Amino acid sequence: MLIEMPRHTEIFGSVKIHELQRVLKLDSGGFENPRAKDISFGEIKAVLEHLAIIIPIKDEKIHLLDGVLRAIPFDCTVIVVSNSERDAHDIYRMEKDVITNIHNLTQQEILSIHQKDPELGFAFYEAGYDCLLDRDGLVRDGKSEGMITGMLLAKSLGKDFIGFADADNYVPGSVREYVIDYAAGFCMSESPYSMVRLHWRYKPKVVEDRLYFKKWGRVSETTNKYLNLLLSTCTGFETGVVITGNAGEHALTTKLADIMSYSTGYSVEPYHFVYLFDEFGLKAEKIAYSDALTAGIEIFQIETLNPHLHEEKGEEHIKNMLLGSLCTVYHSELCNDYVRSKVLEELGDILDAWERPPENIMMPPIGVIDASKFTKLLKSNSETFVMHEQGSIEDEAKEEEYLKGESFQAV
């Protein structure tokens, strides 16, 4: 891959935010280039082998999941965490069938589990991490909760890198690029605590009877504005460096995943920034994460070459997304009165005059959980947990052959 060098890096305490880097070419010839970073396929592959891609899914068209699975590089492990319907239509069963079929064909490592599996709730309970459980002992609905489930599974496989991809993507080749962009980010990182966030080159929308290639989403633009305002008021220097506040497409090192707190709902992605600002910005006395403080935390923002074309989810969630995102800024420890007043102004249409932005539900770092024990519990008890290992079919085939050979000899 050939990727732009970041023109500027904003530093706030231990947090380094690199300016947007564009993907210049999806592969490269290994020539020296003063203007760009050349990352060889070998380097990318070395990261992919230690990368798990988590796909949180909820009642998506099964075609789309199929396409996405066919496009994700073979060297990664895929972890599907489904919160799809299991009643009238057992959509999770269809998902499992697609996964099994892809595994039979490709022999890629793929795991899957259903978010509402009682054994999953129990495993979280056993791990002492019950903050994402509902009163009925099941894992709450929500993408964050699915993401945390996936991260623990990735950890138990010993993965060093964890990335996310949505299953509602119309263009399999785009998803493939996202994963390779993640790997490229980690190739550039100098810290074991790093995060890669993607910015779509275009997000086409149907406007009247043709496609319009939008560059910015409505919510994204506002979220970025307030994250930048928060950062600017802290450092005293105005900046527009944050352009991936709502980046659903992101990846992080397992080391960083272990020390992050996670917000719920639509605020999970912008809260990454707020958490890192709060924890690793001004204050430098955190003892728990002294290693991260010293190494620094790097955030890469990469502009994809491909457009992002996905299922339209309608207008309803826009307000909630904006509210969730700006609440993270409002409740930041670093947020001053000026920023708070600006956020309230922005939310004027959404909140009533007397309302304060609600606090987001927070989930503490997962580093404390014994992921191996967690997964072992699921392996032995869970009915929905499926673990297709890499090349297991071949092994089965070999075994069969071996057995055939035996019986042949026996005959």
Is residue 383 within 8 A of residue 117, CB to CB? The reply is yes
Q: Which of 15, 17, 23, 57: binder of its own copies (CB under 8 A)?
A: 23
- Asked whether position 389 contacts its own copies by CB under 8 A, the answer is no
Q: Which of 6, 56, 73, 281: binder of its own copies (CB under 8 A)?
A: 73
- Asked whether position 36 contacts its own copies by CB under 8 A, the answer is yes
Give me the least distance between CB of 200 and its own copies, in Å please: 12
- Asked whether position 67 contacts its own copies by CB under 8 A, the answer is yes
- Asked whether position 183 contacts its own copies by CB under 8 A, the answer is no
CB-nearer residue toward its own copies: 74 or 125: 74
Q: Which of 20, 24, 62, 362: binder of its own copies (CB under 8 A)?
A: 24
- Asked whether position 305 contacts its own copies by CB under 8 A, the answer is yes
Binding mask 199-238 toward its own copies (x if CB under 8 A, else -) reads -----x-x-xxxx-x-------------------------
CB-nearer residue toward its own copies: 28 or 233: 28
- Asked whether position 337 contacts its own copies by CB under 8 A, the answer is no
Q: How many residues does the chain have?
A: 411
Q: Which of 118, 217, 307, 365: binder of its own copies (CB under 8 A)?
A: 307
Give me the least distance between CB of 256 and its own copies, in Å please: 27
Residues 86-115 that bind its own copies (CB under 8 A): 102, 105-108
Q: Which of 174, 224, 246, 328: binder of its own copies (CB under 8 A)?
A: 174
- Asked whether position 33 contacts its own copies by CB under 8 A, the answer is yes
- Asked whether position 393 contacts its own copies by CB under 8 A, the answer is yes
Q: Which of 8, 9, 11, 27: binder of its own copies (CB under 8 A)?
A: 27
Give me the residues that bind its own copies (CB under 8 A), please. 2, 23-29, 31-33, 35-36, 41, 67, 70-71, 73-75, 102, 105-108, 170-174, 176-177, 204, 206, 208-211, 213, 305-307, 309, 312, 390-391, 393-394, 397
